[in-house]
């Protein structure tokens, strides 16, 4: 599940729409046994691992927006006290959402990436509740356990919005810097199982985005005046931001190609036409975002039905009815 701040509501709506269309209820997350999420996606993944249904996840997001983000300008964030205050806010919210849950208590595989900036250059840091050389559920060292709220805080620590999270003598920030869409993290983890000769089989991969802006022509002019040079600097900053949040879709395309090569069904749900700030707290603009999401889902309902086909094939075997079995389907 992708990062994107308050656009996490898009992810929840995609899951709710899919669950109610395919199952008639909000229990679609129960069909997945490996949850991977970055930034706001980590909060959603851990909420589902905690046992919350999708309706509870939706209202959790909706209610927390004004409890975390302050209605201030960019200058206030950069030069005022807004970042420390928002940091205190998100830590309080996460403590309320995840009081004592830990990774080792979960019955599903959990993966949450963050970005370690302790040294230069920064490096990927991954929270997980499994070992590559052991069967899932094997006892792991207690010191490797981590609280849900700590992993979510680290993976959501977007610079200029929140302070870095200090964990085991490391400074961790938003996992979106290395994997806003954590598909590349999935394949890195998957390949490590094979490296330790602990092979696992994937029966399906579902990627849930937080929406993408519609394609539009970018106007780039010759740098003949000082004003145009200033605009060019802003354009370069936008390009860097687009790369950080994965709007070029390279990781999605690579994951789709690899799934096709290995015969793993792949579904991607991420509405086009969503262009909302990650700290948006205006109810009207968020409702417009949700409406755009629903319109896209209705227009692309065949993608949702592909997910239904995957689940039907996995769970319609008569010999497996009434039995609990792992689907190895990833969200």
The pLDDT confidence band at residue 214, using thresholds 50, 70 and 90, is: confident
- Asked which of 248, 263, 298 is the last residue of a domain, the reply is 248
**What is the per-residue pLDDT across 27-79, written as a single tens digit (0 to 9) for each?**
999 999 999 999 999 999 999 999 999 999 999 999 998 899 887 666 666 66
**What is the per-residue pLDDT across 116-134, written as a single tens digit (0 to 9) for each?**
999 989 999 999 999 999 9
Q: Is the pLDDT of residue 174 over 50?
A: yes
| Prediction pTM value | 0.87
Structure tokens at 106: 């979960």
40 CB-contact burial (10 Å; exposed 0-12 / middle 13-18 / buried 19+):
buried
Q: What is the pLDDT of residue 73?
A: 60
- Looking at the domain assignment, is residue 141 inside a domain? yes
User: Same structural domain for residues 89 and 230?
Assistant: no
Residues 249-258 have a mean pLDDT of: 89
Residues 170-195 have a mean pLDDT of: 92
Backbone angles phi, psi at 205, to 5 degrees: -135, 125
Q: What is the pLDDT of residue 235?
A: 61
User: Same structural domain for residues 123 and 170?
Assistant: yes
Domain that holds residue 75: 5-212+250-330
Calculate the average pLDDT of the chain.
87
Task: Give the least confident one: 32-41, 193-202, 215-224, 283-292.
Answer: 215-224
User: Same structural domain for residues 263 and 244?
Assistant: no
User: Same structural domain for residues 186 and 315?
Assistant: yes
Q: Is there a contact between 156 and 90 (Cβ–Cβ < 8 Å)?
A: yes
- Going by DSSP bridges, is the β-strand pair 170-173/165-167 parallel, antiparallel, or unpaired? antiparallel
User: Same structural domain for residues 90 and 180?
Assistant: yes
Q: Is the pLDDT of residue 12 over 70?
A: yes
- Looking at the domain assignment, is residue 217 inside a domain? no
User: Same structural domain for residues 232 and 96?
Assistant: no
- Looking at the domain assignment, is residue 76 inside a domain? yes
Share of the chain above pLDDT 90, in %: 66
* CA–CA distance, 151 with 167 (Å, rounded to integer): 9
User: Same structural domain for residues 139 and 237?
Assistant: no
- Going by DSSP bridges, is the β-strand pair 204-208/266-269 parallel, antiparallel, or unpaired? parallel
Number of H helices, E strands in the chain: 12, 8
Instruction: Name the active-site residue from 18, 19, 39, 270.
Output: 39
Residues 231-257 have a mean pLDDT of: 68
Q: In this structure, what CATH number is given to the domain that contains residue 129?
A: 3.40.1090.10
Q: What is the pLDDT of residue 208?
A: 96
Domain tally, the chain:
2
Helix (H) / strand (E) containing 114: strand 109-116
* CA–CA distance, 175 with 179 (Å, rounded to integer): 6
Residues 89-112 have a mean pLDDT of: 96
User: Same structural domain for residues 88 and 232?
Assistant: no
* CA–CA distance, 35 with 127 (Å, rounded to integer): 12
User: Same structural domain for residues 244 and 187?
Assistant: no
Instruction: Name the active-site residue from 2, 116, 150, 174.
Output: 174
Residue 191 a catalytic site member: no
236 CB-side CA count, 13 A:
6
Share of the chain above pLDDT 70, in %: 82
The pLDDT confidence band at residue 320, using thresholds 50, 70 and 90, is: very low
Q: Is the pLDDT of residue 90 over 70?
A: yes
Residue 174 a catalytic site member: yes
Which string of DSSP letters, residue by residue, matches 258-310? HHHHHT--EEEE--BT----TT---HHHHHHHHHHHHHHHHHTHHHHHHHHHH
Q: What is the pLDDT of residue 323?
A: 44
């Amino acid at each position: 599940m992708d990062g994107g701040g308050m656009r996490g509501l898009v992810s929840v709506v995609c899951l709710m729409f899919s669950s109610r269309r395919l199952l008639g209820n909000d229990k679609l997350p129960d069909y997945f046994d490996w949850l991977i999420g970055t930034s706001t996606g980590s909060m959603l993944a851990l909420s589902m691992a905690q046992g919350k249904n999708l309706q509870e996840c939706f209202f959790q997001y909706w209610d927390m927006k004004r409890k975390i983000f302050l209605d201030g300008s960019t200058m206030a964030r950069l030069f005022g006290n807004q970042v420390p205050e928002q940091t205190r806010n998100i830590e309080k919210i996460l403590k309320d959402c995840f009081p004592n849950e830990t990774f080792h208590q979960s019955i599903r595989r959990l993966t949450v990436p963050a970005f370690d900036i302790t040294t230069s250059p920064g490096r990927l840091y991954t929270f997980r509740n499994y070992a590559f050389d052991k069967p899932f559920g094997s006892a792991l060292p207690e010191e490797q356990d981590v609280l849900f709220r700590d992993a979510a805080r680290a993976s959501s620590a977007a610079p200029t919005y929140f302070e870095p999270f200090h964990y085991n003598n490391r400074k961790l920030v938003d996992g979106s810097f290395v994997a806003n869409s954590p598909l590349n993290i999935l394949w890195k983890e998957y390949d490590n199982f094979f490296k330790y000769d602990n092979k696992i089989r994937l029966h399906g991969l579902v990627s849930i985005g937080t929406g993408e802006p519609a394609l539009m022509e970018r106007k780039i002019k010759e740098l003949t005046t000082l004003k145009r040079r200033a605009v060019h600097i802003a354009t370069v900053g936008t390009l860097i931001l687009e790369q950080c949040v994965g709007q070029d879709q390279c990781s999605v395309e690579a994951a789709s190609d690899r799934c096709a090569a290995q015969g793993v069904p792949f579904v991607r749900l991420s509405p086009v036409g969503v262009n909302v700030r990650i700290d948006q707290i205006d109810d009207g603009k968020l409702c417009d975002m949700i409406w755009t999401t629903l319109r896209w889902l209705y227009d692309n309902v065949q993608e949702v039905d592909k997910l239904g086909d995957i689940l039907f094939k996995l769970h319609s075997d008569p010999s497996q009815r009434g039995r609990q079995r792992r689907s190895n389907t990833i969200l």
